[in-house]
């Protein structure tokens, strides 16, 4: 196991970063979030031409047969750009849920021809998964709140009673005003909607897998915040000096850099070994680092950081929402107590 | 390479009995190039990639070992500096007994008036024919009471700005005029010393590097020191967090919910720090030296202080095992009990570059942030206000 990036991963990173810089820089994301947050043209290029949608799908099902480690590098770049595309929700969470069933839908997801969403609250705790939908006679009934990616999904994958069901039509998807403008959540209601049962679903495993990879997205968010703040404090002058020459600022950024360095090691560990301990460690650490990085970025930009026109708020909102998503840092630390034998009071 | 190195070790073991004389065995190991394989041939190494050292250590695990505690300054700081800047004669004279532990080394850098601002140091070295005459006072010198040699930085030209008038020497700790006085520290022990240098005569062939080039030579020493101090534990749950975990598991009746939450956070921080240490070692082995090294010491200091403070609070122990003054055998972060650990850890953010200076180094050399305005940069050292 290595914690470094392979050449293939660096090439993939360069391709994704180049495309985002060209088609979807933060200013462009900012412009679209109040009308149509998701950039589905961009998603089509990412999924189809660069082939990111099929990374986690084995070749026999029409995918690239890559590993979580490559998907993690894509997530780093998407986090860095707060890119409004359904990669995490469709190509990671929904795809992972579908993989054990070997369903034919996998091929369509892998090619990016269709997009899916896993109908669970994005804030679900992977260690205590619960499904809120009832399946009876091929029909689904129930309401799930806070679902990410459902509004742009062609197919909804619904866990109910330990089984996974595919719904193509008939569900009501109502997007609600969301903290994270670049990944809004929706309320999904099934009122006796016909569904196709596709196989078994180990929801906790799927959510934990997603949590491990989310750590890489959080690393990307933190990385952008650090780099953008560094550039700003070198340029911004007060008291006839760059503000980045004051130790009060330098020391905060040195500490932040050190947090990000450790977030990189944690993200790599979760992506390459994927064990429950690595996932819990990465989420416990990286979720907080992304939030802290965004908060520091805002503060060190001064008043400009508080304005709607500067993209730093997109990163703060993404970071805070991601901290809550797929288990809070506290949920993951609680899991570590038994995973690494640090028992609580008796 | 892996197989060849194993063959080399096997051939060495076939000729040298590990159960025989310890010193003879260590000398032979040095001569076989198995001391530090990345050093050149003839100087205890094979000119091999550094990561092969792990193989050697594994193969020789059950044999007589050097004492990396007492020899720490020699191995971690003096040796790389001698290797980089020493003459062939100096390398041949010093490296072998340094590695075997026959000669212990200490470091004469800091002074009462020159701590974080090391370059302002005032110990003078004045040339007298083929010799230098050294006068001054050094401080925080760990292990000076065991040392045969020291690495010394002294001022040879007070008329130029502070960084330019320094020269680096090897100091003979047995020379007349060297006086070592123990300096008792907050643990009750004396791990370090004050060293007074009065008319100490050093032959010019103990000079390391050019006259006036001492600052550059010292940088090599200091960068190696930080890597040595920051070396994170290799095992998950090892190091200081391991000590705390042992206590935690042994005393369930003392656990509280508040302490449990804090311990889990510290466990996570220890683990991500360990992982970045592992990543750094991989980068070094792959020939991509990363800037992470300067950060590890910072994390290590913060964690050690937090963990040892936690252990005290957890144990609810108001005693201390023993305040009796004594001289320490070596630099020891763990000591005899939680009280010692807590107090000793306070030094971790001061020794080898304070955490504040390390943050300056990271922000300027890694992050490219501008330095604070420096008023003393172009002023001759003798004219600086003091």
Judge whether residue B53 has pLDDT over 90.
no
C-alpha B47/C-alpha B58 separation (Å) is 19
Task: From chain A, pick out residues whose CB is under 8 angstroms from the CB of B268.
Answer: 281, 284-285, 333, 336
Whether residue B100 is found in the same domain as residue B208: yes
Query: Is A197 inside any structural domain?
Result: no
- Report the run of H or E that residue B167 belongs to, with start and end: strand B166-172
> B106 and B94 in one domain?
yes
B3 pLDDT exceeds 60? yes
| Residue B295 to residue A258, Cβ atoms within 8 A | yes
Q: What is the pLDDT of residues A167-196, one digit of tens each?
A: 999 999 999 999 999 999 999 999 999 999
When mean pLDDT is compared across A154-158, B14-18, B228-232, the lowest value belongs to B228-232
- Could you say which of A247, A284, A343 has the minimum Cβ distance to residue B268? A284
Smallest CA–CA distance, residue B294 to chain A, in Å, is: 9
Q: Is residue B359 a part of any domain in this protein?
A: no
Do B160 and B26 lie in one domain? The reply is no
Domain co-membership, B111 together with B84? yes
Q: Which CATH number does the domain housing residue B174 bear?
A: 2.40.110.10
The answer on B128 and B61 residing in a single domain is no
Those residues with Cβ within 8 angstroms of residue A45's Cβ, 6 or more apart along the chain or in another chain = A19, A23
Which residues of chain B make contact with A3, given a CB cutoff of 8 A?
275, 278-279, 282
Shortest alpha-carbon distance between residue B162 and chain A (Å): 22
Q: Which residue has the higher pLDDT, B329 or B187?
A: B187
Encoded tokens for A188 = 């999904």
Count of residues in chain A: 346
Residue B296 confidence class, pLDDT cut points 50, 70, 90: confident
pLDDT score of B226 = 59
Which residues in chain B are contacts of A285 at CB distance < 8 A? 268-269, 272
Q: Tell me, what's the pLDDT at A248?
A: 97
What is the token pair recorded at B377?
């940069």
Active site annotation includes B225: yes
Q: Are B89 and B72 within one domain?
A: yes
Q: What is the pLDDT of residues B103-143, one digit of tens each?
A: 999 999 999 999 999 999 999 999 999 999 999 999 999 99
Residue with tokens 């990173």: A13
Worst-scoring range by mean pLDDT, A93-102, A218-227, B47-56, B354-363?
A: B47-56
| Residue B43 scores a pLDDT above 70 | yes
A47 located within any domain: no
Q: What is the pTM of this model?
A: 0.92
Whether residue A328 lies within 8 A of chain B, CB to CB, comes out as no
Residues in a beta bridge with A283: none
Distance, C-alpha A330 to centroid of its chain: 18
Question: Which residues, numbered 255 to 284 in chain B, qualify as contacts with chain A under a Cβ-Cβ cut-off of 8 Å?
Answer: 255-257, 260-261, 263-265, 267-269, 271-273, 275-276, 278-279, 282-283
DSSP string, A10-69: HHHHHHHHHHHHHH--HHHHHHHTTT----HHHHHIIIIII-GGGTTS-GGGTS----HH
| Mutant choice from B243, B251, B271 vs A, greatest count of A C-beta within 10 A | B271
Q: CA B357, B360, B362, B364 torsion: positive or negative? A: negative
Q: Count the residues in chain B.
A: 386
Question: Are the Cβ atoms of A266 and B272 closer than 8 angstroms?
Answer: yes
Q: Are A263 and A289 in contact (CB under 8 A)?
A: yes
Clarify whether residues B103 and B162 are in a common domain.
yes
Interchain CB contacts (distance < 8 Å): A and B:
137
- Pair B36, B76 in one domain: no
Q: How confident is the model at residue B227 (pLDDT cuts 50, 70, 90)?
A: low
Q: What is the pLDDT of residue A107?
A: 96
Q: Do B272 and A246 touch (CB under 8 A)?
A: no
User: How far is the CA of A49 from the CAs of A12, A19, A42, A111, in angstroms?
Assistant: 12, 11, 10, 9
Token duo for residue B381: 């050292």
Low-confidence stretches of chain A (pLDDT beneath 50): none
Domain that holds residue A326: 204-339
Percent of chain B residues topping a pLDDT of 70: 95
pLDDT score of B289 more than 60 = no
d(CA B125, CA B129): 12
Q: Are residues B57 and B78 in the same domain?
A: no
What per-residue confidence (pLDDT) applies to B222? 79
- Report pLDDT for A64: 94
Same domain, B57 and B86: no
User: Which is more confidently placed, B68 or A153?
Assistant: A153
Q: How confident is the model at residue B231 (pLDDT cuts 50, 70, 90)?
A: low
Q: Quick check: is A322 in a domain? A: yes
3 state DSSP class of A187: strand
> What was the pLDDT predicted at B375?
87
Q: Is A293 part of the contact surface with chain B (CB cutoff 8 Å)?
A: no
With respect to residue A321, please indicate whether it lies within any of the assigned structural domains: yes
- φ, ψ of residue A249 to 5 degrees: the values are -85, -45
Q: How confident is the model over B192-208, as pLDDT tens digits?
A: 999 999 999 999 999 99
Q: Give a yes or no: residue A120 inside a domain.
A: no
Structure tokens given for B97:
């007994």
**Which residue range forms the structural domain that includes residue B314?**
231-353
Average pLDDT over residues B309-319: 96
Give the number of domains in chain A. Answer: 1
- Domain presence at residue A109: no
Residue B221 lies in a domain: no
- The pLDDT, as a whole number, for residue A335 is 98
- CATH number for A300: 1.20.140.10
| CA nearest to B374 within chain A | A245
> Choosing from B103, B191, B225, B292, which is the catalytic residue?
B225
The number of domains in chain B is 3
HEC string of B338-365 equals HHHHHHHHHHHHCCCCCHHHHHHHHHHH
| B355-369 per-residue burial string, b: 16 or more CB within 10 A, e: under 16 | bebbbbbbbbebbeb
């Amino acid at each position: 196991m290595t914690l470094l990036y392979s050449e293939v991963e660096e090439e993939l990173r360069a391709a994704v970063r180049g495309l985002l810089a060209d088609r979807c820089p933060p200013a462009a994301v900012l412009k679209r979030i109040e009308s149509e947050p998701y950039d589905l043209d961009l998603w089509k290029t990412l999924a189809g031409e660069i082939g990111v949608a099929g990374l986690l799908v084995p070749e026999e099902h029409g995918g690239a047969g890559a590993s979580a480690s490559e998907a993690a590098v894509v997530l780093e770049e998407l986090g860095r750009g707060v890119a409004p595309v359904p990669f995490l929700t469709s190509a990671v969470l929904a795809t992972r849920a579908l993989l054990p069933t070997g369903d034919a839908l996998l091929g369509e997801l892998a090619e990016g021809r269709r997009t899916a969403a896993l109908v669970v609250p994005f804030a679900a705790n992977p260690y205590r998964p619960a499904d809120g939908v009832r399946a009876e006679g091929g029909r689904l009934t129930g309401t799930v709140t806070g679902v990410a990616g459902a509004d742009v999904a062609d197919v909804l994958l619904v866990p109910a009673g330990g089984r996974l069901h595919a719904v193509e039509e008939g569900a009501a998807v109502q997007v609600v005003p969301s903290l994270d403008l670049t990944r809004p959540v929706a309320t999904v209601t099934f009122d006796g909607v016909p569904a196709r049962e596709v196989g078994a679903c180990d929801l906790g495993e799927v959510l934990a897998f997603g949590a491990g990879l989310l750590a890489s997205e959080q690393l990307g968010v933190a990385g952008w915040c650090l780099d953008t703040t560094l550039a700003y404090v070198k340029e911004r002058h007060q008291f006839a000096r760059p503000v980045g020459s004051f130790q009060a600022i330098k020391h905060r950024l040195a500490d932040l850099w050190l947090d990000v360095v450790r977030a990189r090691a944690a993200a790599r560990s979760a992506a390459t070994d994927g064990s429950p301990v690595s996932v819990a460690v990465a989420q416990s650490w990286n979720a907080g680092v992304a939030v802290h990085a965004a908060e520091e970025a805002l503060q060190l930009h001064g008043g400009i950081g508080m304005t709607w026109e500067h993209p730093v708020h997109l990163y703060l909102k993404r970071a805070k929402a991601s901290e809550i998503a797929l288990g809070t840092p506290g949920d993951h630390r609680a899991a570590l107590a038994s995973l690494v034998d640090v028992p609580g009071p008796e | 390479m892996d197989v060849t190195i194993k063959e080399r070790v096997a051939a060495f073991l076939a000729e040298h009995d590990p159960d025989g004389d310890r010193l003879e065995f260590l000398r032979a190991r040095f001569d076989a190039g198995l001391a530090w394989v990345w050093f050149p041939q003839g100087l205890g190494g094979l000119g091999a990639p550094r990561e092969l050292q792990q193989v050697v250590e594994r193969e020789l695990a059950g044999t007589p070992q050097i004492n990396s505690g007492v020899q720490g300054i020699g191995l971690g700081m003096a040796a790389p500096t001698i290797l980089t800047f020493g003459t062939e004669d100096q390398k041949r004279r010093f490296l072998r007994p340094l590695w075997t532990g026959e000669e212990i080394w200490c470091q004469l850098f800091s002074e009462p008036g020159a701590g974080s601002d090391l370059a302002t140091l005032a110990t003078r070295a004045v040339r007298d024919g083929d010799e230098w005459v050294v006068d001054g006072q050094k401080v925080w010198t760990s292990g000076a009471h065991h040392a045969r040699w020291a690495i010394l930085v002294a001022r040879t030209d007070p008329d130029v700005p502070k960084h330019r008038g320094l020269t680096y020497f090897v100091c003979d700790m047995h020379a007349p005029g060297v006086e070592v006085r123990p300096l008792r520290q907050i643990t009750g022990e004396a791990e370090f010393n004050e060293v007074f240098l009065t008319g100490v005569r050093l032959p010019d062939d103990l000079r390391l590097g050019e006259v006036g080039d001492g600052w550059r030579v010292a940088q090599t020493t200091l960068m190696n020191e930080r890597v040595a101090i920051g070396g994170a534990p290799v095992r998950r749950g090892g190091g200081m967090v391991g000590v705390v975990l042992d206590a935690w598991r042994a005393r369930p009746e003392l656990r509280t919910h508040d302490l449990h939450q804090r311990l889990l956070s510290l466990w996570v921080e220890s683990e991500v720090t360990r992982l970045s240490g592992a990543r750094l070692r991989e980068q070094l082995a792959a020939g991509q030296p990363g800037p992470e090294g300067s950060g590890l010491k910072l994390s290590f200091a913060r964690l050690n202080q937090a963990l040892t403070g936690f252990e005290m609070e957890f144990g609810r122990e108001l005693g201390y095992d023993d305040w009796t003054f004594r001289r320490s055998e070596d630099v020891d972060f763990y000591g005899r009990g939680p009280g010692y650990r807590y107090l000793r850890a306070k030094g971790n953010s001061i020794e080898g570059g304070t955490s504040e200076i390390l943050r300056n180094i990271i922000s300027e050399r890694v992050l490219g942030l501008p330095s604070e305005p420096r008023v003393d940069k172009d002023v001759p050292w003798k004219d600086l206000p003091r």
